[in-house]
Copies of this chain bind each other. A is one copy, B any other.
Amino acid sequence: MQAEIITIGDEILIGQIIDTNSAWMAQQLNAIGIHVKQVSSVADHPADIIVALTLASGRADLILITGGLGPTKDDVTKQTLSVYFGCGLHRDPKVLAHVESIFARNNRPMLEINRRQADVLGKSEVLFNEMGTAPGMWLTHKGKSYVIMPGVPFEMKHIMRERVLPRLRHLDGRQPLWHQTVLTAGIGESFLAEKIADIEGALPPHIHLAYLPKPGLVRLRLTAIGENKEVLKQETAAVAGQLRDRLGDHFLANEDTALEMLIRDFMQQHGLSLATAESCTGGNIARLITALPGSSSMFEGGAITYSNAVKQATLGVKAETLDTHGAVSEQTVREMALGAQALFRVDYAIAVSGIAGPDGGTAEKPVGLVWIAVAGKSGVAAHQFLFGHDRAINIERSSMAALFMLWRLLHAENTE
């Protein structure tokens, strides 16, 4: 089955936003055997939208349209589609009640332009949007399927996950296809490739291996295309097993998950508690953990100790240690980790101190130098890392390295 994506919005064509929606949608569609033939980004102009729709309808069976569903005048998608499909708009009572409830919750008076958010295309089926006021719509027209969604990424993703993808899985014309992810950590892409070269070389032609790096992690994605999905599942599972054996400590999971999620689940299951003491990561590690529902069952709290005075006052790092070894040193992160373990009364504590950049580096301690310690049941593990020059990437890589150190210590101390 062939699909096309049309993204609508002046903000894309003047370069004010980068279209991240299309790549995400394409990944999701590919995963269920639907092939994206073209992505077209057009302005909030009715004529442009109609031309793009006409052309896409001539090439594809499924057309996904995002953007231009807001309440303000510059958003013209719904009016334009009602012309294109030759159907009117009508106000959907369930959507209206939902929009009203959002305004009531926020104690905000409701205007006519907000009510218009509940207007949907006459021939369409509503794809309910719990996350916002603009509903999605599904429409069949001259044998083609059209999915209309808001352009706000989290609203689009919600509607795709909950309403669109489950429905597309039942459409005909998809070729059996199976993806199996193997998540790895603590090893770079090229080293990984070297380590598994013979396994990759021996793959049959219908199984493809892709390397998808994220900071600190590499996802290996096996994609198999064939006639029978059950056979594809077995074949990719066998390869994933070989990879797991080869990767040892660097193997994390047979799914595309997050390291902090694996940690939350492990600590919950083993009744363990965690705290963080962060300098250069500035709260990012705590943020990653507390972004997860249920993290309060294992996360007690954290200290963000940006200045030396705060490192002493909150975590009890000794003035002498800071004077002698500096804030970015093994001794300091060890004291930070032990201080956090005591202050927050937890089983495990992570401590990070480094030079994120762009300023603050010296010849001896350059930008990108990071010390990480993890305190556990049997002592403290500490390691030095040297990342790069980019502040954002240093913060992200430090966070992932710290979580991976915690993951290893958790396994060493809590599994036989």
Contacts of A310 in B (CB 8 A): 300-301, 344
Within 8 A of B (CB), among A278-298: 278, 280-287, 289-291, 293-296
Question: Is residue A223 within 8 Å, beta carbon to beta carbon, of the partner chain?
Answer: yes
A238 at the interface (CB under 8 A from B): no
Contact B359 A111 (CB under 8 A): no
CB atoms of A299 and B293 under 8 A apart = no
Contact A303 B304 (CB under 8 A): yes
Among the listed B48, B194, B290, which residue makes an inter-chain contact with A283, where contact means beta carbons less than 8 Å apart? B290
Q: A73-B200, A189-B70, A303-B301 are in contact. Are A15 and B37 (CB under 8 A)?
A: no
**Chain B contacts of A39 at CB under 8 A?**
12-13, 19, 39-41
Q: Please tell me the size bucket of the interface on A.
A: 35 or more
Across the interface, do B282 and A289 meet the contact criterion of CB distance under 8 Å? yes
Binds B, one of A136-144, A160-168, A389-397: A389-397
Q: Are B38 and A131 in contact (CB under 8 A)?
A: no
Judge whether A87 is part of the interface by a CB distance below 8 angstroms.
Answer: no
Instruction: Report the bound CA distance from A191 to B108 in whole Å.
Output: 9
Report B-chain residues with C-beta under 8 Å of the C-beta of A265. none
**Which residue numbers of A lie inside 8 Å of B, CB to CB?**
10-20, 22-28, 30, 35-44, 48, 52, 55, 70-74, 102, 105-108, 111, 113-114, 130-131, 152, 154, 179, 188-191, 193-194, 200, 208-213, 221, 223, 256, 276, 278, 280-287, 289-291, 293-296, 299-307, 309-310, 313-314, 343-345, 356-360, 368, 386, 388-393, 395
- Ranked 4 nearest A-B pairs via Cβ: A282-B290, A283-B283, A15-B26, A283-B286
Known: A72-B189, A111-B190. 17 other contacts (CB 8 A): A11-B210, A11-B221, A16-B212, A70-B213, A74-B208, A102-B388, A106-B188, A107-B386, A111-B191, A130-B389, A282-B287, A282-B295, A283-B286, A296-B306, A299-B306, A300-B306, A300-B309
